[in-house]
Structures are given as C-alpha cells and as structure tokens.
Amino acid sequence: MRNVEVALKTRANLGECPRWDEQSQLLYWVDINACELHRFNPLTCEDDCLTFGEEIGCFVLRRDGGFVLAMRSGFYFMENWGDELKAICDPEADIETNRFNDGRCDAAGRFIAGTVYPPKDKDGANFWTLDTDLSARLLVPGMLTSNGAAFSPDNRTFYFANTPKHVIFRCDYNLENGTIGKAEVFHQFEYGNGRPDGASVDSEGCYWTALYEGGRIARLSPQGDILEEIPVPAKCPTMVAFGDQDLKTLYITSVGNRPDEELIAYPHSGSVFKVRVDVPGLPEHRFGAQAILN
C-alpha cells in the first residue's frame, strides 16, 4: 500500500490544476472557486497566492517566462508572478454560463483548454486550442465538463475526459497542425464510484486520473486497463501532477467545499496530497508564443 501524505494542509474550495515547474522546483495550483493561483515550495512549505476578479480554471507556463491563464472570460498573459493580466482572446464570449476548466500544452507549444457548462442540460462545453499565433479554434465540441487533457509521450495521442459521463476518450493527434482524429472510448468507469477528473501521463505512457467522489486515483495502461488504484484521504481528488527532481512524486489536489459529514470522515479535504510512485512523469510542455500584447 502506498503512503499518501498531506503535502500542503489547506482547505481549498476547489483545488485543481497542479503543475510542476522543473526549473524553479515549485508546484503551482489553482483554487477555481476562490479565483486563486498558488505557488507552493515543497522544501519550505511556503504557499504564495494571487487572487483574481474571476475564476481561473487552468494555466500553463510559457517558454520565454510567465504564464498563460484560462479564466472565465478567456485567455490571458501574465508576464511575471503578480503582474497585470493582458487579454488574449475569449472564444466563448457569447456563452455567459461557461468558464474554462482544464487544459495543458502540446509539444508544439499550443494550449489546449476545455470549458465547463454548469447547467448540464445539454452538451454545452468544448475544448479549444490557443495556437502560438494567439488565435483560438475549436478542437472538441459537445462536452458537459471538459477534463483530463493529456498527451502520450510520443505526442501522437490526445486523451480527454467528459467527467459527468464517467468516460475517458482517446484520439489520434497530429502534432504538426494540432488536429485530432475520431475519438474512441479509452475507459468507461461505472457510475456511482467516482468519475474521471484531471489527469497526467507518465513516461511509460500510462494515464493517471483523479476520481472525483471516488476517493482514489487510478493508473491506466495505454490500452485503457486499470493497473493500480490508490486511495486518497479526500472523497474528491481533482487532478494529479508529477513533481520533485525525479518526477516520481505525484501531487494531488482536492475539494474542501463538501458536506459536513464528509469533512468529518475526510478532515484533510481541500489539501494538496503527495505519494511516491515507481515510474516518473514527464516535464510539462510550455506555451510557445513569443508575442507580448501591448
């Protein structure tokens, strides 16, 4: 049995998008509902925080420094920690209900980010690609909640989850032009035992997913078979990220805004957890655009 520990004791409302920066050896993560971006130093246990005027769903680091943030109102640059945000574009400006939720970069430096459609009365969420020329285009339409964006080590496969439907898809990915092939079911989880949320892929090509309301994370083979499940001391883990110098520490964000009886059973809900694994992850790709908006 692997030992899952509390890395950062906190009560995040909706902790998400842990992302390891191998250059600074810091873990970044967001609290979506609190409109916060955090940076955590595992060596000192210091956790700094920026608070914005709207929700931040996910973000990526840039090749030439700084960040690209996917907010409720679209994509933004932040040149340095704490700098003023610079708007890039909002591909869903005409959809008031939606906000960005999950995403990451491909190896060519594009930012693939998905939205969530809270009413859930139709498939109203989408995955978008922010290209390095700063234009946005639709990648995957017709989702309920876009999640689990990840790439195989050879960048030929793109994975994504439609969380409310308990399903993870895989499709061929053309890195040259950033297009995808037909999506096929990678793994369908049974209903009522946790649904797939955020994810990362390790160096062997296995897909790690956090199972929201399932109290565990799971490692799936490239063929979609469950190889390992690890219980987490929170009912609602949200996403995983490989970190530390050897990329063998799996950091796990979670939700703290839960019913009282659940918080009694899982008092560390909302914390960032960590667990050591045998196979390392891969460094995160970074956004490639060099342009700076005036």
- Whether residue 180 is contained in a domain is answered as yes
| Spatial separation of the C-alpha atoms in residues 216 and 33, rounded to whole Å | 22
Q: How many C-beta atoms lie closer than 10 Å to residue 65's C-beta?
A: 10
CA-based torsion, 46, 52, 55, 56: positive or negative:
negative
User: What pLDDT is recorded for position 256?
Assistant: 98
Q: Which amino acid is at 217?
A: I
Is the predicted pLDDT of residue 291 greater than 60, yes or no?
A: no
* CATH number of the domain encompassing residue 152: 2.120.10.30
- Whether residue 102 is contained in a domain is answered as yes
In total, how many domains does the chain have? 1
pLDDT tens digits for range 86-119: 999 999 999 999 999 999 999 999 999 999 999 8
Residue range(s) defining the domain that contains residue 79: 5-276
Catalytic residues: 197
User: What pLDDT is recorded for position 290?
Assistant: 47
Chain centroid offset of residue 57 CA: 8
Mean pLDDT across the stretch 191-215? 98
Residues in Cβ contact with 24 at an 8 Å cutoff, skipping those fewer than 6 apart: none
- Whether residue 284 is contained in a domain is answered as no
- Whether residue 84 is contained in a domain is answered as yes
- Whether residue 292 is contained in a domain is answered as no
- Whether residue 290 is contained in a domain is answered as no
Average pLDDT score over the chain: 96
Mean pLDDT across the stretch 4-24? 98
- Buried b / exposed e over 135-154, threshold 16 CB at 10 Å, is ebeebbeebbbbbbbbbbbe
User: What pLDDT is recorded for position 75?
Assistant: 98
Is the predicted pLDDT of residue 294 greater than 70, yes or no?
A: no
β-bridge partners, 207: 201, 220
pLDDT more than 70, % of the chain: 98
- Whether residue 289 is contained in a domain is answered as no
Q: Which amino acid is at 2?
A: R
pLDDT category at 292 given cuts 50, 70, 90 is very low
Nearest Cα to 198, choosing from 157, 252, 139, 129? 252
| Spatial separation of the C-alpha atoms in residues 41 and 228, rounded to whole Å | 28
CA distances from 158 to 18, 46, 102, 153, 155 (A): 19, 34, 14, 10, 7
pTM, entire model: 0.96
Phi, psi of 220 (to 5 degrees): -110, 140
- Whether residue 282 is contained in a domain is answered as no
